[in-house]
Structure 1
């Protein structure tokens, strides 16, 4: 039998190691190429989808309204009120008329976009953080970790979003502000994001490039951040876009029920709540904030639907 020299053995190990590294890099490159192809094909599909453009225009309009309300309020101050104008109907000078306190209603509806959108965005950010972290841990480690985290999610699933947020706001806050409302909605809205991330992580972690990275000694955190999460983000992005609209509607519902934002805050839910008592004599007090709320929710839902269709390969066949 031919004796293998130490130099030859070392060279053989180095060649094996170099080959494994090359293989890992090839798998990672292939995964990145598939991911880039996915987003490239998705963008081509989005450009052909009228729902995407309608939703985009509406979303940009309402985000701009929230950030720079002075552009849309025609110079009116939402808190400059005169009872002599109480519940006056729309006119050429005041397009939305006046509310019960004699305040310019267009300015109030425009400034109401800020709180509503801020609550939706903050709540979605909290939902994403909770959903991604908990879902990634449950999907990657599995076993007892997955069982415990899944049971915790089931406990929160026992209470519907509106009911859970209502109970939390009523028991924990006297006069909840936008952050409190956003946290209450996020506390009972993160479970679907968690399950989406968990299912995607379970599917991706068995891929060849993940196995190659694990064989090379990559840490669990590096595998998660570098290889798994970037390939599991598509359904979460769709869910996030739709959920912003759902949360904006949920905030208006809580405020309408008297457990969300309180005066002197300006909110579409507060305006609808106040206007319901004058629905017959001054229907514009309910009509205008309801219409703007509906269009805002519809914009995010249409964006989410367009993203879902674009990112689903079955829709492009």
Structure 2
């Protein structure tokens, strides 16, 4: 039923009715503008990532791996170094889902605890590679000229060193053991690809109008690089770092398998794979190799999938 009082009020005060209608239209228009307002690069990327099933699955897997790396006792109640020689090479059974290895250690417990060293090496090496590569590539791309030529030639020298061969040579000469020598060697040999990506991104970003305007207003090189260029050139570095993280986890396992990476009593997937590499033992007890190898494959695949999803979200040309 129509509201007669409202009709009478509108007729008696037509100017007020017009003002209310204008206010309503302005409110609706403002809400539509806010809802459809353009998002920035990072908010737009997060909007796409949340709707990408590959990102969701890989992120959940990585979150699980990080949790068991920090607190392996959440799902493994035994000690990874508690072994019973009398149960050597026993197959999976109730309470020992993955069976026992050659030394009579519980394979399930060692697989869970092995995530700590393997992921620690991958994460620390990736942080070091990303930082070193971003600094070298960013400086080369920003200053150009002599410094660009010098840093680019240094990058080319490191590009010429095969990563696995170089890591074997350097680790063979180091007497220290543990994760840090492996992290340092991977960092020293793995930064050139990220440096080259950072250099190209900085060269592209410094040609934008807002950088030229900031320079004209008197901004120094440090402010230009840290406040205006790097925040807009860091996306390719993050994508590359996410992808190589899984590669570095596999590299640690490779070096440990060859006997120059992590060594016992350190517990890692690469160490367990190396211990189970005897052909006779694998034929008699395949579980001692399959489970740590499967855990390694899942971790590497999860990080590569995450990197692909992040790349698709941050690169507008792929949309």
Q: Does 1:136 find its partner at 2:117?
A: no
What does residue 310 of structure 1 align with? 313
The Cα shift of 1:179 comes to 0.7
Structure 1 Cα separation of the partners of residues 238 and 91 of structure 2: 42
Q: Does 1:258 find its partner at 2:259?
A: yes
What does residue 65 of structure 1 align with? 68
Contact 1:169–1:181 at 8 Å: present in 2 too?
Answer: yes
Structure 2 Cα separation of the partners of residues 175 and 88 of structure 1: 34
What does residue 165 of structure 1 align with? 167
The Cα shift of 1:175 comes to 4.4
Deviation by residue 1:118-175 (Cα, 9 ceiling, x = unmatched): 101111111112111101110000011000000001111111221111111112x124
What does residue 107 of structure 1 align with? 109
Structural RMSD (CA)? 1.3
Structure 1 Cα separation of the partners of residues 196 and 262 of structure 2: 30
The Cα shift of 1:72 comes to 1.7
Deviation by residue 1:47-80 (Cα, 9 ceiling, x = unmatched): 221110110111001011100000121x111111
The 4+ residue runs of structure 1 with deviation greater than 4 A are none
Structure 1 Cα separation of the partners of residues 146 and 60 of structure 2: 46
Deviation by residue 1:202-251 (Cα, 9 ceiling, x = unmatched): 00111111111111211101110000000001111111111110000000
Greater Rg by CA? 2
Q: Does 1:118 find its partner at 2:116?
A: no
The Cα shift of 1:315 comes to 2.5
In structure 2, list runs of 5 or more residues that go unmatched.
1-36
Structure 2 Cα separation of the partners of residues 122 and 89 of structure 1: 35
Structure 1 Cα separation of the partners of residues 140 and 176 of structure 2: 36
What does residue 224 of structure 2 align with? 223
| Equivalences for residues 266-281 of structure 1 within 5 A | 266-277=267-278, 278-281=281-284
Q: 1:188 is paired with a residue of what secondary structure?
A: helix
In structure 1, list runs of 5 or more residues that go unmatched.
1-32
What does residue 194 of structure 1 align with? 195
What does residue 154 of structure 1 align with? 156
